[in-house]
Amino acid sequence: MNATTIDRRRFLAAAAAVPLASRLVLAHAAAAPEARFAFILLRGALDGLAAVPPCGDPAYAGLRREIAIAPPGATHGALPLDSTFALHPGLIFLQESWRAKELVVAHAVATPYRERSHFDGQDVLENGGHQPHAFATGWLNRALAALPASRAGRGREAGIALGQNVPLAMRGPAPVASWSPSRLATLDDDTLARITDLYARDPVLSVRLADALATDDVARSAAMETAQRGARYGEALRAAGAFLARDDGPQVAMLDTTGWDTHANEGGAQGQLASRLGVLDSGLRELKGALGAAWSRTVVVLATEFGRTAAVNGTRGTDHGAGTVAFVVGGAVQGGRVLADWPGLAARALRDGRDLAPTLDLRALLKGVLHDHLQVASAALDREVFPESAKALPVRDLVG
Amino acid sequence: MSTAAEAAIATNRFGLGARPGELARAAPDPRGWLLAQLRGGAPAIAEGASLERSDTILNRATALREAKRDASRAGGAQGAVQRIGAWYRSLYVAEVQARFGAAVASERPFVERLVHFWANHFAVSVDKAVVLGVAGAFEREAIRPHVLGRFEDLLFAVERHPAMLLYLDNFQSVGPDSPLARRASAARRRRDLGLNENLAREILELHTLGVNGGYTQADVTSFAHMITGWSIGGGRGRLAEGESGQFHFRANLHEPGAQLLLGRRYAQSGCGQGAAALRDLARHPATADHLAGKLARHFIADDPPAAAVARVADAFRRHGGELVPVYRALVESPEAWATPLAKYKTPADYVHSAYRGLDLPVDGKRSGLTAYELLGERTWSPGSPAGWPDRAADWDGASALLKRIEWADAVGERLGDRRDAQRLAPAMLGAVLTGKTSEAIARAASGAQAITLLLTAPELMRR
């Protein structure tokens, strides 16, 4: 693709929607480097007790038996964090981040949802309320809408979803883009112009097409063409990094991954979950690489809908549970610590006699990041972003 | 609404998109055209296609694994593992193409859509490796024969099918107090013996009652106990008994004793206990509400009117879960005919309607799969037992639209002037074809571009 074609595409995109045209003009006025935020949703309920095993908890090894992660120092042992917690041995990049004081691990975390349906659990995590289907929009989009005016009006979509479609967390009043790798030959501009005209009176398709074309330009002109091909997940994270690294790029990116629902043959230091965690970890390394200098003003949060049972089940896996982990990693993070009011894994401490009891509201963590990193006002956080969440006080000092 | 507009709804929303001539056939009586399709059993797929039965597939897989173990003793295991994987992939590709061919050619497209609906309701996902080889067989054996029958029979066929027992792990779920667990415990071998509640939970949450159907964690656990032993014959070690590759009840894995589910006590022993519970779940009022809500969402609107849902649920209850009267209630709902183009097509819907409307040949080994993958709906791989979502917001992303445009462009390029878009557009869209689209097609710079414009028209993105 040559520069002239890009400009013509951009023109078409602008012609398709007047509001976008004005956004594009303003884009050139972008000034000082801004904070960047990526949210990675792990769909399927990540086993927090495998990702961040509490090796120092006396009940841990007995509950987990053949899938327990051995303590640091043992063969295939976990990577040390503090006297209680360690990292799964596959999470090498995260441990490097820990040493660089760029990682906060939050444990025994959960959303307000206390049932055990994946789909409702993800809905609560994404809609930001107390109940499934409480809102048709997502907290991350409402946070974008609540960004300080100088940023919200700065002339482009402030958020991008990496995928063909926009997940619930990113749906809402603020315009967002979506992007996924394209393999097909480029369309000729005349056909695109005619399709643009065909959509002129369609309120949904006209906006979608304009957004798609604008985003496609950025992706192509970013380092995407030359980026090495790899796993789809790595590709999406590299793309996210390339988008966020641009001064005129989006401020927030969201990705989601699946495959965390480990009911059977979960494995320990090696096996099914270990290989998923390995892919996740190396993907984060790719994200950091693609962000380049922008890593220093980036915060990445990884979260999942709920955790898994404290004990191994009858099929060497774990069933749906409650408390789990969340990770806050990035150059802007004030890290090197585990954030946990640890309830313990003793039988009497388990929720319903089976699950890690949640002691930290995930929203408190997210509010801390949104407030201190993206400067979303407290009032907006308590009322619009996470309605009726005033009691979940933002976790402070996550960002350096 | 004119019958012309109703014919467009019948063929595009209830059907899979009008083939040439279909709109004219539906036009005199669009409802009657749909209801006539419900007579007789569901058509079998792709006569002449050499598709294997699931038990044959599973037996051969077992044999291949044995061969692998023998080879591994002789020092070279990897090859045989890859052979199973590659063989499973070839089965999957053939199944998807056969299903694609049926969708494109069907003269009972309403029934074909119902097959797709129920397969998605009872989703298995091929991203779990063991499902890859049997997902197609599962749909042909458990779903297709029952879509015009009783929900209860459909439910039993699904929950006892090896593909579902593998996908949601139940084949190896062991009652903690079962004969096998007690023997193992006496021998101090506690390793990997115990309950897996995955299938029990998803039956309650997704297949029958729905997430708000009033069950608790205790219900999940006790239902999981009741279906311990629902397994597959001819496995390894303690799973060796039974007809190989078929449903087999393993009494030695079954949790003994009475169980409580939704306040009702089940004192049966053995396989009959889970079966009694499953039968009650099929007949539970919450199941009718849950299924009616999903059907109405699929055939009426993303947020269907409560009155229509209630009517469909009522038909389900009155007819004891007979499905044809339920579909009739949907077809006879005035809400279904009120708004043309109320649903945004999923990628598969989109591809089917394009192939049907343009009367494209289903050639090659994987033309369907290639399109589904590109557009983001790889068959039988929703990634979770909830299946693919069914609302516009899940499918109408900007990047997804660009993919459709790029695909439409490639189709146009391939066909050139071998199809006349100007003639085909009214036969595909009828009364919902707008002047703007007709005009754009008429003014196209080439036959290829005309096809691309037809396939990207707003009317073709929706049903």
* CATH number of the domain bearing residue A300: 3.40.720
**Residue A362 or residue B77, greater confidence:** A362
The two counts, helices (H) then strands (E), for chain B are 24, 4
pLDDT bin (cut points 50, 70, 90) of residue B76 is low
A315 to B194: CB separation less than 8 angstroms, yes or no: yes
Distance in Å, alpha carbon of B243 to nearest chain A alpha carbon: 22
pLDDT for B441: 95
Interval B40-66 mean pLDDT: 85
Distance in Å, alpha carbon of A29 to nearest chain B alpha carbon: 25
ipTM: 0.89
| Pairing of β A360-361 and β A337-339 | unpaired
- Residue A72: pLDDT over 90: yes
Among the partner-chain residues B127, B383, B457, the one whose CB lies closest to the CB of A198 is B457
Among the partner-chain residues B397, B440, B456, the one whose CB lies closest to the CB of A166 is B397
Which of B402, B405, B432 would best serve as a mutation to test chain A binding (most A beta carbons within 10 A)? B402
Amino acid in position B344: Y
Q: Give me A261's structure tokens.
A: 């629902």
In chain A, residues with a C-beta closer than 8 Å to the C-beta of B458 are: 198-199, 202, 205
pLDDT bin (cut points 50, 70, 90) of residue A18 is very low
Among the partner-chain residues B192, B395, B396, the one whose CB lies closest to the CB of A316 is B192
pLDDT (tens digit, 9 = 90+) per residue, A144-155? 999 876 454 455
Q: Residue B16: inside a domain, yes or no?
A: no
Distance in Å, alpha carbon of B49 to nearest chain A alpha carbon: 31
Q: Phi and psi for A162 in degrees, rounded to 5?
A: -90, 105
pLDDT for A26: 40
In chain B, residues with a C-beta closer than 8 Å to the C-beta of A178 are: 397-400
- Residue B290: pLDDT over 90: yes
Interval B135-140 mean pLDDT: 97
Amino acid in position A85: F
B409 to A191: CB separation less than 8 angstroms, yes or no: yes
A208 to B395: CB separation less than 8 angstroms, yes or no: no
Which of B399, B403, B407, B449 would best serve as a mutation to test chain A binding (most A beta carbons within 10 A)? B399
Helix axes of B78-105 and B109-121: crossing angle, nearest 10 degrees = 140
Mean of pLDDT over chain A: 87
Interval A350-378 mean pLDDT: 97
Interval B426-452 mean pLDDT: 94
Domain residue limits at A87 = 36-187+215-385
Q: Residue B264: inside a domain, yes or no?
A: yes
* Least confident among B41-45, B148-152, B359-363: B41-45
pLDDT for B2: 80
pLDDT for B47: 57
Helix axes of B347-357 and B367-375: crossing angle, nearest 10 degrees = 140
In A68-109, alpha helices (H): 92-99
A161 to B397: CB separation less than 8 angstroms, yes or no: yes
A164 to B399: CB separation less than 8 angstroms, yes or no: yes
pLDDT for A16: 44
Interval A124-153 mean pLDDT: 87
Q: Residue A112: inside a domain, yes or no?
A: yes
Q: Residue A200: inside a domain, yes or no?
A: no
Work out how many CB contacts closer than 8 A connect A with B.
161
Q: Residue A374: inside a domain, yes or no?
A: yes
For residues B3 and B28, is the Cβ–Cβ distance under 8 A? Answer: yes
Q: Which of A233-247, B44-58, B333-347 has the highest mean pLDDT?
A: B333-347
* Least confident among A210-214, B295-299, B310-314: A210-214
Interval B121-130 mean pLDDT: 94
Q: Does B409 contact A at CB distance below 8 Å?
A: yes
In chain A, residues with a C-beta closer than 8 Å to the C-beta of B168 are: 263
Rg (CA), chain B: 24
Helix axes of A189-198 and B398-415: crossing angle, nearest 10 degrees = 120
Q: Residue B245: inside a domain, yes or no?
A: yes
Which of A319, A320, A350 would best serve as a mutation to test chain B binding (most B beta carbons within 10 A)? A319
- Residue A215: pLDDT over 80: no
Domain residue limits at B206 = 168-300+303-339
- Residue A399: pLDDT over 50: yes
Amino acid in position A94: L
Q: Residue A68: inside a domain, yes or no?
A: yes
Nearest CA in chain B to A172: B393
Q: Residue B146: inside a domain, yes or no?
A: no
Q: Does B192 contact A at CB distance below 8 Å?
A: yes
Size (chain B), residues = 463
Mean of pLDDT over chain B: 93
pLDDT for B82: 63
Query: Number of folded domains in chain A?
Result: 1
Interval A1-27 mean pLDDT: 40
Nearest CA in chain B to A193: B453
Q: Residue A115: inside a domain, yes or no?
A: yes
pLDDT for A220: 54
Percent of chain B with pLDDT strictly greater than 90: 81
Q: Does B205 contact A at CB distance below 8 Å?
A: yes
- Residue A223: pLDDT over 60: no
Q: Residue B258: inside a domain, yes or no?
A: yes
Q: Does B173 contact A at CB distance below 8 Å?
A: yes
In chain B, residues with a C-beta closer than 8 Å to the C-beta of A194 are: 440, 444, 449, 453
Nearest CA in chain B to A212: B398
pLDDT bin (cut points 50, 70, 90) of residue B186 is confident
pLDDT (tens digit, 9 = 90+) per residue, A26-69? 444 445 578 999 999 999 999 999 999 999 999 999 999 999 99
Q: Residue B308: inside a domain, yes or no?
A: yes
Among the partner-chain residues A171, A259, A317, the one whose CB lies closest to the CB of B127 is A259
In chain A, residues with a C-beta closer than 8 Å to the C-beta of B435 are: none
Interval B130-149 mean pLDDT: 97
pLDDT for A219: 58
Among the partner-chain residues B172, B386, B400, the one whose CB lies closest to the CB of A164 is B400
pLDDT for B71: 81
Q: Residue A208: inside a domain, yes or no?
A: no
Among the partner-chain residues B394, B398, B409, the one whose CB lies closest to the CB of A187 is B409
Q: Residue A12: inside a domain, yes or no?
A: no
Q: Residue B440: inside a domain, yes or no?
A: no
* Least confident among A321-335, B196-210, B235-249, B307-321: B235-249
Cβ atoms < 10 Å from Cβ of B145: 16
Cβ atoms < 10 Å from Cβ of B287: 25
pLDDT bin (cut points 50, 70, 90) of residue B118 is very high
pLDDT bin (cut points 50, 70, 90) of residue A11 is very low
Question: Which has the closest alpha carbon to B408: B342, B461, B346, B343?
Answer: B461
Q: Residue A145: inside a domain, yes or no?
A: yes
Amino acid in position B100: F
Query: Number of folded domains in chain B?
Result: 1
Q: How far apart are CA A263 and CA B169, in angstroms?
A: 7
